[in-house]
C-alpha cells in the first residue's frame, strides 16, 4: 500500500512540476529569434537584462509588465534554451558595486 501511494504521489508531483509554469510547457530550445518572439506573443515578455557568460553564451532575462519572466541561455551557435521561468519579477534600483544603501 505504501509503495502504491508513493508511486501515485510521485506521478502527481512530476505532472505538477512539468506544468507549474506556462513557459516551461513550451518548447525548451530553438532559434533565439523564435524563442523570443514566442515569449513576446504568448506572455508579453521582452528582454530586460543581458550578460555574457565566460563560456561565450549569452544569458537574457525577459519580463512582462505583469511580472512573469523567463531566463534564456543562447549558445554561440545560436541555439537558445529556456533555463527558468516564473512570476513576480522586479527590477532593482541600480547601484555601484561596493556601496551600501
Name the residue ranges covered by the structural domains of the chain: 2-86
CB atoms within 10 A of CB 83: 13
45 touches 68 (CB < 8 A): yes
64 touches 45 (CB < 8 A): yes
pTM for this one?
0.67
Tens digits of per-residue pLDDT, 21-64?
Answer: 444 444 589 999 999 999 999 999 999 999 999 999 999 999 99
Q: Does the structure show a pLDDT above 60 at 6?
A: no
Amino acid at each position: 500500500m505504501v509503495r502504491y501511494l508513493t508511486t501515485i504521489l510521485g506521478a502527481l508531483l512530476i505532472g505538477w512540476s512539468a506544468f507549474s509554469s506556462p513557459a516551461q510547457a513550451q518548447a525548451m530550445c530553438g532559434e533565439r529569434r523564435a524563442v523570443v518572439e514566442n515569449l513576446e506573443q504568448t506572455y508579453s515578455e521582452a528582454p530586460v537584462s543581458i550578460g555574457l557568460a565566460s563560456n561565450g553564451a549569452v544569458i537574457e532575462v525577459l519580463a512582462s509588465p505583469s511580472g512573469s519572466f523567463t531566463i534564456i541561455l543562447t549558445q554561440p551557435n545560436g541555439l537558445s534554451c529556456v533555463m527558468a521561468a516564473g512570476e513576480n519579477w522586479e527590477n532593482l534600483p541600480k547601484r555601484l558595486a561596493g556601496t551600501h544603501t
